[in-house]
Amino acid sequence: MLSLKKYLTEGLIQFTILLSLMGVRLDLDSYLPSHLPSLHEIILGPTSAYTQTQFHSLRGTLDGYGVHPKSVDLDQFFTSRRLLSCVRALDRLRVPSTALDAWLVHRETDGSVSSAQTGSSRPSDNQQDLSSSGSEQGRDGQGLEELGATAPSGSSDLSKEDIDLIDILWRQDIDLGVGREDFENRQLQTENEKVWESLRDEPDTETLEPVLQVDGETGENIPQDQTALSLEECLSLLDVNFPFGDSPGFQTVTPSDVLDSAQCPVVSDRTDRLLSPMLSDINSSLDLEEQWQDLMSLMDLQAMDVNGSSEDPLYLNLDPPLQQDIRLDEASIPGCSHSVSSDFTPNMEPFSTTESPGLQLSSQNSTDMNSTFGFTNLTGILFPSQLNSTGNITSPSTVSDPLSGLLDEALLDEISLIELALEEGFSQVQASQLQEELDSDSGLSLDSHHSPVSPSGSESSTSSCSSSSTASFSEEGAVGYSSDSELFENEESEGATGYQPQYSKICRMSSQDPSQFQHLPFLEHIGHNHTYNMVPEEPEEVQPMVESRRTQSFVDRQAGRDEQRARAMKIPFSNEKIINLPVEEFNELLTKYQLSEAQLCLVRDIRRRGKNKMAAQNCRKRKLDTILNLEQEVKRLNRERSSQLREKGENLRSLQRMKQEVEHLYHEVFSQLRDPDGQPYSPQRYALHYTINGSIVLMPRNLEGQQARRPERKDRRK
């Protein structure tokens, strides 16, 4: 007659696996007799916190993370983990997901079920899995850790029970001699993965190549299809109101007064709206250019790091067109914003070079205006550097930023802070140091509360009772720490109650009702393996003799010490009961039997030691999990840092483009203004000012100081 486990294994389990693979859920527990524990516990043992799980076993999680460092499959785990890292790295380069799916499908079909341990087939999930796996591992890990050494996790559709069942089936296969081939298959699969990894780089380059070409043609990250508006539309959006009639010094300019058909770059009616088209445009172009921008931004920022002496970060990302010689014959009304940098700059020269003295004055006053009057001296904003410089716009090294004044100081400070935070807050050196610290788990205290090391020279309260049991057990006392030789001597002297090695293998009771399993001898070998880092216990005739003897000696020492004591003291119930029963039941159990003082003391010590042993295992496991989580967190932070650096580079380039466009727009507007005599305004005497309510006013420069002292004048912009 088949045992229940074998029956379940060869019948219901396999059928359940098939159903699970087909997407049909089956709850085998519902088919079991009610007095029996759940199928999960029958196979894997109790799931309570007291369970001595095989932490060394592979905890196959979706992202590959979670394998315990003690895992015997650590090499394969690292291989798979490295591949998963490559997969995630591919996600940064936006390799089409179909390529990843193909690889994963290949893995699925290549090896056996148990060998499939790849992560989620959706690369987009990897990032989230990565961030969430750590915590989830810490919570749900208890169940997952009970998976076998090669717990499959390839299919995210499989439930945890299904995975458990698959794992159990695989372990059964190992017992039946199939595991060797399976292991070889896994090794072969690992080799295939390595080959795939070596080939994987090529698709990367192929994927990257077109991007490089495209961007190489554009030369810049500015999209070609940027929206172009007519200057009239620009002015209408800008709500240009020049107080022309109200004040002798002011001129009201309507959009029709200015150049009506000239094309201009994107502008908006407000400063904030002026930013938005650019930003949105950049966002829209990210899909195509993100890869290249990622590279470029990192290169730029690395250059920034090298050139750390640069005072204005805005200079650092000047695109090459701005740093090249610009000929006047190239000047034209730009139709596309990306050509603005080279097209409109020559138009600035009459303002920036020949009329610098007057404008320089306005730029100096602009700060006061901005801070106290709410006006922004656009002239000073647009051309401050040129006005203050020698005007050598063609020199790449001395090229000035015509729009540095546009930046609010707060914005500059913010960017500077971001830069500092990014480049100094978490330097690579620190990251490497942290990595080194994480790599060495020696002395790494990870918990929040640290109890000071107290010199413990006194005996523990629980051990104090050992003196009372000395006579009945050994010279050292029933619970005293006695060597194994002493124990064996003692056991040998016991004679009839000599130690039976098989006894220690009988374990493993359900946390629900442990006593039930003690009456099911055919389930004894199903129970949990309480040897932390050992092969599953098997019948001695299956094991090689040497291996069996060694394993048995280890079991005798580790798991059987208290068992020996208990048998020596003739404790009438099992150590599993002593350890795992709740307090109430444990006390009730003690009252049921008339135990001597020594027996009671031994029972309590066995309970204490047993619980503490599992607690120590859990503690160490948590410590390792914490280290692994920290490792993942470090990696995540590094990725986040890279992402932020890239975003910063993109923002800087976007800002540069916007400055150029505003500069161009200012120039266009100012050049079209005419006084009542039909003469153009002199940039030396007049300047456009940007008010806080979005209006633009033309003000004489000699009034700027007065405006600064009389904020009420801003109401006269009409």
Which residues bind to DNA, rule: CB under 7 A?
49-50, 56, 69-70, 442-443, 445-447, 449-460, 462-463, 479, 481, 483-484, 530-534, 550, 553-554, 557-559, 561-562, 582-583, 586, 605, 607-613, 615-620, 622-623
The Cα 681–Cα 674 span in angstroms is: 6
Tokens of 293: 């921008």
CB-nearer residue toward DNA: 158 or 627: 627
Q: What is the 3-state secondary structure (H, E, C) of 176-228?
A: CCCHHHHHHHHHHHHHHHHHHHHHHHHHHHHHHHHHHHHHHHHCCCCCCCCCC
Roughly what angle, to the nearest 10 degrees, separates helices 160-175 and 179-218?
130
CB of 80 to DNA, least distance (A): 20
Q: Measured between alpha carbons, how far is 42 from 672 in angstroms, rounded to an integer? A: 88
Q: Where are the beta strands (DSSP E) in 44-146?
A: none
**Per-residue DSSP letters for 127-178?**
HHHHHHHHHHHHHHHHHHTTS-TT---S-TTS-HHHHHHHHHHHHHHHHTT-
Radius of gyration of the chain (CA): 38
One-letter amino acid for residue 24 of the chain? V
Phi, psi of 489 (to 5 degrees): -60, -40
C-alpha span between 275 and 262 (Å, rounded): 21
The smaller minimum CB distance to DNA, of residues 184 and 447, is found at 447
- Report whether 579 contacts 50 (CB < 8 A): yes
Q: Which is nearer to DNA, 17 or 581 (CB)?
A: 581
Of 587 and 702, which CB lies nearer to DNA in the complex structure?
Answer: 587
Least distance in angstroms from the C-beta of 58 to DNA = 15
Nearer to DNA, 198 or 456 (CB): 456
Minimum gap (Å) between residue 514 Cβ and DNA: 14
- Does residue 606 contact residue 579 with C-beta atoms inside 8 Å? yes
Which CB, 176 or 453, lies closer to DNA?
A: 453
> Nearest approach, Cβ of 601 to DNA (angstroms)?
11
Is the Cβ of residue 313 or residue 610 nearer to DNA in the bound state? 610
Of 35 and 450, nearer to DNA (C-beta) is 450
CB 582 → DNA: shortest distance, Å? 7
Provide the minimum distance between the beta carbon of 140 and DNA in the complex, in angstroms, as a whole number.
Answer: 15
Shortest Cβ 567–DNA spacing (Å): 14
C-beta of 33 vs 443, nearer to DNA: 443
31 vs 481 by CB, closer to DNA: 481
Pick the closest to residue 666 from 393, 264, 331 (CA basis): 264
CB of 222 to DNA, least distance (A): 54
Q: Specify whether the CB–CB gap between 359 and 380 falls below 8 A.
A: yes
Residues 6+ apart with CB under 8 A from 515: 509, 577
Neighbours of 594 (CB within 10 A): 8
The CB-of-484 to DNA minimum distance in angstroms stands at 5
**Nearest distance from residue 227's CB to DNA, in Å?**
58
* Cβ nearer to DNA, comparing 3 with 511: 511
The minimum distance between CB 37 and DNA, in angstroms, equals 18
Evaluate whether 263 touches 230 at the Cβ level (below 8 Å): yes
Instruction: Return the DSSP state at 644.
Output: H
Q: Shortest approach of DNA to residue 112 CB, angstroms?
A: 27
| Least distance in angstroms from the C-beta of 436 to DNA | 14
If the CB atoms of residues 92 and 561 are measured against DNA, the closer one turns out to be 561
Which of 261, 454 has the CB closer to DNA? 454
- Do the Cβ atoms of 474 and 598 come closer than 8 Å? no
Please identify, using beta-carbon distances, which residue of 450 and 519 lies nearer to DNA: 450
Cβ at position 104, least distance to DNA in Å: 31
Closest CA to 331 of 13, 588, 668: 668
Looking only at the bridges linking them, the beta strands covering 696-700 and 686-690 are antiparallel
In this structure, what token pair is assigned to residue 634? 């470090």
Query: Other C-beta atoms within 10 Å of 651: how many?
Result: 16
CB closer to DNA, 306 vs 583: 583
Contact (CB, 8 A) for 75 and 83 = no
We find the least distance from the C-beta atom of residue 530 to DNA, in angstroms, to be 7
Residue 225: count other Cβ atoms within 10 Å of its Cβ. Answer: 10
Say which residue the tokens 């807050």 belong to.
425
Where are the extended beta strands (E) located within 621-695? 686-690
Q: Are strands 229-230 and 263-264 parallel, antiparallel or unpaired?
A: antiparallel
Whole-number Cα distances in Å, 647 to 174, 274, 528, 623: 51, 20, 51, 35
Least Å from the CB of residue 593 to DNA:
17
Which CB, 68 or 667, lies closer to DNA?
68
CA distances from 666 to 360, 374, 684 (A): 16, 18, 15
E-assigned strands of 333-487?
376-377
CA dihedral (583, 585, 587, 592) in degrees, to 10, reads: -170
When the beta carbons of 369 and 627 are compared against DNA, the nearer one is: 627
Q: How far is the CB of 612 from DNA (least distance, A)?
A: 5
